[in-house]
């Protein structure tokens, strides 16, 4: 179901949020990716750690909630609408209880067993290829966005403030067959991992199992491609027509100059007819002139006659300019 006013990004995420990994290893990878990209650690007044996951999409937080439940963490988790940024609602999921928070973070490979935070992607999370799908899905859900396929430029990106994570992500995407670019935004406060190629973006959608979005993406790509092809053909036909008209105008000029100086009667009969037809029908194609001839002739025959008469006319006018006295010799 398409909802009006919802961006393509949101639709992709809604679809991804509905997809739950079957294997425990994948659930862990996906949860880790979402926490990596949207989570933060806070200390409460009691100096006890609290994990917060923030998003403008409440459906994403519901997914985190369910993934945590599968983790058998006895959570004190709850979701709350926190603030509105430029009219947009934001939601937060809080996970209280230091033991619980540490259990989740260690299991997700975000915290070492000595409770130090890790910046990059823990290799154990993405060792299995099934988990790579889940991890990239989580990353896209957390901080990814994609342009509407109807727009002119194709673009998919994932943003992060963490340089180590960004490099890890580029490496992981490479392992999965995606050549991602990496850039820093203008204010240099976050990094952008991106794909620009329409075909690769389509593959990415299919890879993270956003199949409905993938089909829509490919469909729009094909329609756009066909539209471009039609435009190209129309442009090509217009160019050909212009070329024909330009050539005809040139012929008229040469022939009328010749007619003024030597007269068309000096020409052999078939060539004289060709010259007359051209002068009387300056916009007609050679095929059309051929049909007007008596008896009618093919386009190639008319083309042959036109080239001969133009050659005579050009020679005559050309020679006249250089050797005026010899001009009459061309009449014979
Ligand atoms: Zn897995």
Cα-based angle 311, 312, 316 (whole degrees, multiple of 5): 115
pTM above 0.75, yes or no: no
Q: Let me know whether 22 and 86 are in one domain.
A: yes
pLDDT, tens only, 27-39: 999 999 999 999 8
- Residues 271 and 181 grouped into a single domain: no
Q: Which pLDDT value is given to residue 77?
A: 62
Same domain, 128 and 252: no
Residue 284 CA to ligand 1 center (angstroms) comes to 71
- Distance between Cα 125 and ligand 1 center (Å): 8
**236 part of a folded domain:** no
Which among 76, 27, 29 is positioned nearest to 52, based on CA atoms?
A: 76
Ligand 1 centre from 122 Cα, in Å? 14
Q: How far, in Å, is the centroid of ligand 1 from the Cα of 123?
A: 13
The answer to whether residue 265 sits within a structural domain is yes
Q: What distance in angstroms lies between residue 245's CA and the mean position of ligand 1's atoms?
A: 67
Distance 18 CA to ligand 1 centre (A): 17
Tens digits of residue pLDDT in 253-291: 999 888 888 888 889 999 999 999 999 988 888 999 999
**132 CA distance to ligand 1 centroid (A)?**
7
Answer whether residue 137 is part of any domain.
yes
pLDDT at 329: 44
Question: 171 C-alpha vs ligand 1 centroid, how far in Å?
Answer: 18
Question: 193-219: b or e for each residue (b if 16 or more CB lie within 10 Å)?
Answer: bbbeebebbbbbbebbbbeebbebbbe
Ligand 1 mean position, distance from CA 152 (Å): 36
Same-domain check for residues 31 and 161: yes
Q: How many CB atoms lie within 10 A of CB 119?
A: 13
Q: Is cis: bond before 202, omega within 30 of 0?
A: no
Contact 37, 43 (CB under 8 A): no
Domain of residue 18, CATH code: 3.10.28.10
Residues 6+ apart with CB under 8 A from 118: 109, 110, 111, 112
Cα of 28 vs centre of ligand 1, distance in Å, is: 8
Whether 322 shows a pLDDT value over 90: the answer reads no
Confidence at residue 46, expressed as pLDDT on a 0 to 100 scale: 65
Reply yes or no on whether the pLDDT at 194 is more than 90: yes
Number of domains composing the chain: 2
- pLDDT-based confidence at residue 212 (cuts at 50, 70, 90): very high
Distance 141 CA to ligand 1 centre (A): 17
Give the range of the structural domain holding residue 309, as residue numbers without chain letter.
Answer: 242-331
DSSP 238-273: HHHHHHHHHHHHHHHHHHHHHHHHT-GGGS-HHHHH
The residue count for the chain = 332
Domain-located, residue 1: no
Q: Does the pLDDT value for residue 135 go beyond 90?
A: yes
Higher pLDDT, 314 or 208: 208
Classify residue 117: in a domain, yes or no. Answer: yes
| Residue 234, in any domain of the structure | no
Q: How far away, in angstroms, is 192 Cα from ligand 1 center?
A: 26
Distance from the CA of 289 to the center of ligand 1, in angstroms?
74
Tell me how far the alpha carbon of residue 130 lies from the centroid of ligand 1, in angstroms: 4
The two tokens of residue 88 are: 């947009």
Q: Could you give the CA distance from residue 301 to residue 307 in angstroms, rounded to a whole number? A: 10
Is there a domain that residue 3 lies in? no
**pLDDT tens column, 218-261:** 999 888 888 888 888 888 888 888 888 888 889 999 998 888 88
Whether residue 208 is predicted with pLDDT greater than 60 in this model: the reply is yes
């Amino acid at each position: 179901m398409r909802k009006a006013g919802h961006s393509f990004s949101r639709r992709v995420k809604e679809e991804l949020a509905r997809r739950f990994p079957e294997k425990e290893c994948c659930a862990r990878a996906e949860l880790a990716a979402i926490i990596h990209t949207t989570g933060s650690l806070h200390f409460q007044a009691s100096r006890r750690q609290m994990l917060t996951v923030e998003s403008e999409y409440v459906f994403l937080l519901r997914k985190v909630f369910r993934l945590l439940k599968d983790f058998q963490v006895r959570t004190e988790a709850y979701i709350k609408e926190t603030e509105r940024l430029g009219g947009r609602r934001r939601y937060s999921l809080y996970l209280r209880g230091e033991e619980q928070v540490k259990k989740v973070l260690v299991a997700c490979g975000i915290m070492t067993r000595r409770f130090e935070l890790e910046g990059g992607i823990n290799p154990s999370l993405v060792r299995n290829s099934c988990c790579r799908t889940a991890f990239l899905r989580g990353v896209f859900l957390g901080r990814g966005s994609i342009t509407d396929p109807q727009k002119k430029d194709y673009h998919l990106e994932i943003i992060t403030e963490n340089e180590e994570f960004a490099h890890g992500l580029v490496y992981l995407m490479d392992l999965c067959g995606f050549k991602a670019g990496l850039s820093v935004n203008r204010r240099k406060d976050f990094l952008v991992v991106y794909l620009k190629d329409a075909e690769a973006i389509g593959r990415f959608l299919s890879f993270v199992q956003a199949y409905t979005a993938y089909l829509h993406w490919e469909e729009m790509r094909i329609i756009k491609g066909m539209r471009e092809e039609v435009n190209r053909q129309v442009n090509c036909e217009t160019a050909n027509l212009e070329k024909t008209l330009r050539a005809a105008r040139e012929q008229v000029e040469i022939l009328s100059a010749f007619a003024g100086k030597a007269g068309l009667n000096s020409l052999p009969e078939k060539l004289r007819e060709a010259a007359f037809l051209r002068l009387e029908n300056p916009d007609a194609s050679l095929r059309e002139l051929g049909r007007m001839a008596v008896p009618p002739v093919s386009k190639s025959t008319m083309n042959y006659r036109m080239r001969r008469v133009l050659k005579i006319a050009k020679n005559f006018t050309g020679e006249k300019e250089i050797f005026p006295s010899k001009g009459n010799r061309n009449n014979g």
